[in-house]
Each structure stands twice: as structure tokens, then as C-alpha cells.
Structure 1
Amino acid sequence: MVPFTKCKSSYIRVAFTFGIFFLLMSLQNTVIDVFLETRGGMCACDKCVTDLNDSDWFFKRFNSTVSVLLNRRNSVLQASVYRWWTGLQRDSGKANYTDVVDTLFSLFPNEEHYSDAGPDRCRTCAVVGNSGNLLGSHYGPLIDLHDFVIRINKGPTEGYEKDVGSKTTHRILYPESAVDVDSSAQLVLLPLKIKDLLWLISVFTTKHITHTYTKVRPTVNVTRDKVMIIHPEFIKYVYESWLQKHGKYPSTGFITLIYALHICDQVDVYGFGAKSDGSWHHYFDKSLSHFNKSNHPGDFEYKTINELLFLNKITKHK
């Protein structure tokens, strides 16, 4: 009986050891899953914006919890955000921000957007800039294959379809760059001041705002339930976290790129940068300019975009 008891005891120890081993492996996998969720999770694409890599550069900058779009629930601004945001441009008069928000969300959708991120989603996005380097590119069909096609300010499609495509799902603009928006597309307002929010209200009501610091359109063609508003906190986050406080505030193009990193799983970038001869102009406008002669830190934005390219967070098409 003694040998049998010893044998049985040995089996119990082995079984106990294996049980502990599998328990630890299970706990390890749980910890990894939680870690991945904290770091943004993964997706069903071949490569994902939030995939982990050897460098912490991206995750020191990327904040998955930042408010990207404004709604009534997240509309109360921290004092530091309000001071920074209202200090960007000229004073908007006596407009009360809280009253403006109340009016906004009596007119426009008060929703949570893009909360469907996860391992089963593969959302491909094309961020289409306005550089003259798009001319002759024949990227149009490739751009249109994306789930989201995000265009910036006035960049037209009509007459340029073979190079820039014809599809638009989002157009990011501010009052001074306003254009009519395709009926199927989202108007994503980039508010750099309270008066930009007042202008949006005016577009759908009295149409009385025709001037900010320059002449603006009193109305644009857009579907009311297709209106979104970038959160002031998000603009400040892009400036502080991604641009490390270089310049005065980010360019619309750079904000759009970081916006895409937050709502997309795979980001392709078109129409950024100079032409091959070094000149800077829009594909629809031949007037020359230099990207760094403004409030925007063009050199630092360019450096940051190249780092995202190096880390395979974006694909840039020249």
C-alpha cells in the first residue's frame, strides 16, 4: 500500500504543478489583453494604428481617452483648455460658451461617434491634403477604395477625380475655409474660437454671420445630421502632445491627420508636402506659399509625420 500511496501523491503533485502552470498562463494572457486594451487595442487590418511596436514614441503621444468630438456630455471644458483655446485668436465678444453649447446640441446630433474600435474592425482611411504634388498622381481610384475619405478645407474633387478621387465621407473645415459639403459627407467643424461655433449655428438659423476676421460664407449646403465638431480639448492635445508646443497651434492638415489616427485603423496620407520642384501650392490654386510662414510649426509637423511613417503608423503616398 505504501508504494501506491507514494505514486498517488506524485500524480497529485504533477497535476497540481500543471494546474498552477496553466493558471499562470491564463493570468498572463488576461494581463496582456488588458494591456492591449489600455494601449488602444488592435484591429482586423494587416497593420493597425494601435499595434504595439518596439518604440514608446507613439504611445507617449497617443491618448486614446482624449475627447475627439464635442457633445453635450463632454462639453464642460477644463479651465486650462478654455484659457488656451479662447486665447488662440481674437475675442469672440460677449458670447457665453455654455449658452452656445446648449444651442448647438438643440440643433445638431448629440452623439458618441466612433466608439466601435476593437479586434474585429478594420477601418481604412485616406487623408487627402491639398498639395500640388497630387497633380498627375492618378491616385483617384486608390483613394476612393478607402472606407473613409477625409478632405481638408476647400480641396475640390470635381475636375480632379483622376488624381484626388470623387468620394468624400468627411470634410474638415472652419468658417474662413467653408465650402458646400456632399450630401453623404460629414461636415467636421474645426473651431478655433467661440465665434466659429456661433457661425455654425448661424448657418442653420439666422445666417447673419458674414464676417469673422475676414469675410465668410453665411451659409453652406450640408445636411444637419451630418455635422460634427472637433473638441477644443483635442486641438490642445494635438498641440501639446504631438507638437510639443511648437508654434502657436497646429495646422488643419496636421489636426486632421491625428484625428484620423483616433478614428481609423489604417491611415493612408495623400497630398501632403511640396511638389518635386520644392514649390508649395494647392493642386487647385497656383499661388505659391511656404508651409512654415504662419502660426503653424511646419518643420516640426513634417518631422512628426515622418516619424509616424517610420513607425508604420501611416502610409504616405508621394
Structure 2
Amino acid sequence: MIIVCLVALNQIQLDVSPEDTCACFQCLKEHEEDPWFREHYRSPVPKLLSRGNSELSNETRNWWEKLQTGRTKENLSAVVDILFSLFPDGELYSDAGPQRCRTCAVVGNSGNLEGSHYGPLIDAHDFVIRMNRGPTAGFEKDVGSRTTHRALYPESAMDLDNSTHLVLVPFKIQDLQWLISIFTTKHITRTYFNVKPTINADRDKVMVLHPEFMKYVYESWLRKKGTYPSTGFMMLILSLHICDQVNVFGFGAREDGSWHHYYDKRYHVLLNGGKHRGSVEYNITVKLHQMNKIRMYKGW
């Protein structure tokens, strides 16, 4: 079954006409005219922060600052100047066209990955996007061994290898300052609890999710349900913007209905607990699958 899937994943059209939106067997952009998809998907939204797009509107700035406890008086422009003196500054992944077939695997941390044997299929993608501290060592058979992008924030940080892009999901200006600190002074050791003062990562592969993109996911896709989107759901929507085919693994419950991480059965996920509305995110993910915008692998 996996061999068949790998062949399908890598199959491309041999005769690509100028009207084709990508070189994949099936392209995500072919569905942009679908009314439901068009209602949610907004192409021009900035995805990754850069010096050139860092000036936030008052609306975005106010929404973003409300995510944190206690508003900050920090000068965002000053922080951005330091940020992009250290890390890459430029537009990325804007090379869509009839010659490109970029496949993305968005790998969540659900226990439904246990025994799935999805590892080789996940590793066959161009981009393998993981969230927070989801490990691969010891779980390669089910979750794969490659990671090209890992989305995290200070409170969920971990060491990365030099082949992995650190994708910071900034919930506050202090998160941007922490990113600077881990590569320089290493002086930030606490946010609302203790955080790593430094991690292993390649500074040339650092990316920062744009606050306006976070707000867009919250408003356009979640219709303001919950307080803000989960990291996994934001990476799923980001993949719709930067990839031509999107496959999703490790989202949702196990077949028996239990919700826990594949690497920690003691941690039970509250579907609608905390700041997120997991049921809303999951239903949208299923809807995207049913409408052939993505393919969702449940492990059973």
C-alpha cells in the first residue's frame, strides 16, 4: 500500500500545458474556484515575517498583543531590525508555477500514528513539517526520520539538526526577543515559565510566521472560535499556501477515540480545552480532505 502511495506521490504530468498550475499529478490550486475554499483561502496574506512586511496594521497589532498576558511597550520595529540583521530576510516559497511540484507532509503528534507504518511515506515528501517537541528517534517506522521544518515557540523549543528550518510561531514580542537571544546573549531564561536559553539550530534556516497570517487563520478559517489557532492547524494552513500537494498525518484521535500524543500516552489532549477549539480545527481538516484539498491519513 505504501509503495503504491509513494508512486502516486511522486507522479507528475508529462505534458504540462501553460494553463496547468503546477507539475503535480493533482494541484492544490486547481481547487481555488471552489466557493467554500475561496471563502476561506486568502492568497495575498503575508506568510513569513520580513523587514519589508513587518509594519503591522493597528488591527493586527491589537489582536496580536491581546494573545499575551500584559501588554508590552517594546518597539517592534527596533526588534525587527535586530532580528533581520541575524536571520534571512526575503520572500520565500513564491516560486509557484507549472514547473513546480512541491509536496508537503504536515505531521501532528496524535497517537493515531502508533503502528501506522507511515514513516517511509512521510519521508518521501519535499517538505516534512513537524510541530513543537514531537520526536522522531525511536518512532521512525511510524512517523519518519526527516524534518525539514519544525514550528515552535519558546515554551516548546527543542534542539534541531542543521537540515531543519526553525519556524518560530510568535505569540508575543518577547518570543522574537527570545529568538535573538538564543543565538546571541542567551539571557532570556523565562517567559511565563522557564524556557531554554539556547538551542541547537541553524540561524540561516530561521523563519518567523507573520502575525497577520496567524490572525488570518483565526478569522478566515476558524471564524474566531477559541482564542487563537493551534500550532498544528496554522502549519496546515501555511502548507496550503506554499505547497502544491498537502498530506496530513497525526491529526485527530485514535480509532478507539482516545486523544494522546504518540510519544506520551500519559498526556491526554483536551479537544476543546485551553485556548484552542480542537473540534473546529479537526472538522475543517476533515472537510479539506473530503473536498480533495488535502489527503488526511488517520493511521487506521
TM > 0.5 between the two? Answer: yes
Partner of 1:183: 162
Partner of 2:253: 274
More deviation in 306-315 or 43-52?
Answer: 43-52
Are the equivalent residues in 1 in contact too, given 2:251–2:282 (CA < 8 A)?
A: no
Q: Is 1:299 the counterpart of 2:261 in the alignment?
A: no
Q: Is 1:91 the counterpart of 2:70 in the alignment?
A: yes
Partner of 2:13: none
1:202 counterpart letter in structure 2: S
Task: Give deviations 1:202-249, integer Å, cap 9, x for gaps.
Answer: 101111111111111111100110100000000000000000111111
1:122-161 to structure 2, matched below 5 A, reads 122-161=101-140
Task: Give deviations 1:59-98, integer Å, cap 9, x for gaps.
Answer: 1111111100000000100110000001111236432111
Q: Is 1:120 the counterpart of 2:103 in the alignment?
A: no
Aligned-residue offset at 1:133 = 0.7
Are the equivalent residues in 1 in contact too, given 2:31–2:37 (CA < 8 A)?
A: no
TM-score, with length taken from structure 2: 0.91
CA distance in 2, matches of 1:83, 1:153: 26
CA distance in 2, matches of 1:208, 1:95: 17
CA distance in 1, matches of 2:58, 2:33: 36
1:127 counterpart letter in structure 2: V
- Any gaps of 5 or more consecutive residues in structure 2? 1-17
Task: Give deviations 1:6-47, integer Å, cap 9, x for gaps.
Answer: xxxxxxxxxxxxxxxxxxxxxxxxxxx8xx8xxxx7211111
Structure 2 residue corresponding to 1:45, chosen from 24, 29, 48:
24
Are the equivalent residues in 2 in contact too, given 1:139–1:165 (CA < 8 A)?
A: yes
Greater Rg by CA: 1
Aligned-residue offset at 1:119 = 1.4
- Any gaps of 5 or more consecutive residues in structure 1? 1-32
Partner of 2:179: 200
Q: Secondary structure in 1 aligned to 2:254?
A: coil
Partner of 1:243: 222
Are the equivalent residues in 1 in contact too, given 2:32–2:38 (CA < 8 A)?
A: no
Aligned-residue offset at 1:54 = 6.8
Q: Secondary structure in 1 aligned to 2:246?
A: strand
Are the equivalent residues in 1 in contact too, given 2:154–2:175 (CA < 8 A)?
A: yes
CA distance in 1, matches of 2:251, 2:206: 25
Partner of 2:89: 110
Q: What is the number of residues matched between the two proteins?
A: 280
Task: Give deviations 1:264-317, integer Å, cap 9, x for gaps.
Answer: 100000000111111111111122232211211111111111111111010000
Structure 2 residue corresponding to 1:314, chosen from 271, 277, 294:
294
Are the equivalent residues in 2 in contact too, given 1:92–1:195 (CA < 8 A)?
A: no
Are the equivalent residues in 2 in contact too, given 1:92–1:193 (CA < 8 A)?
A: no
Aligned-residue offset at 1:55 = 3.1
Q: Secondary structure in 2 aligned to 1:133?
A: helix
CA distance in 1, matches of 2:295, 2:72: 43
More deviation in 50-59 or 83-92?
Answer: 50-59
Partner of 1:15: none
Q: Secondary structure in 1 aligned to 2:260?
A: coil
CA distance in 2, matches of 1:157, 1:111: 30
- Root-mean-square deviation (CA, aligned residues, Å) is 1.4
TM-score, with length taken from structure 1: 0.86
More deviation in 237-246 or 299-308?
Answer: 299-308
> Sequence identity of aligned pairs in percent?
61
CA distance in 1, matches of 2:148, 2:33: 33
CA distance in 1, matches of 2:257, 2:192: 31
Structure 1 residue corresponding to 2:42, chosen from 30, 45, 63:
63
CA distance in 2, matches of 1:94, 1:205: 22
Q: Secondary structure in 2 aligned to 1:308?
A: helix
CA distance in 2, matches of 1:106, 1:91: 28
Q: Is 1:255 the counterpart of 2:223 in the alignment?
A: no
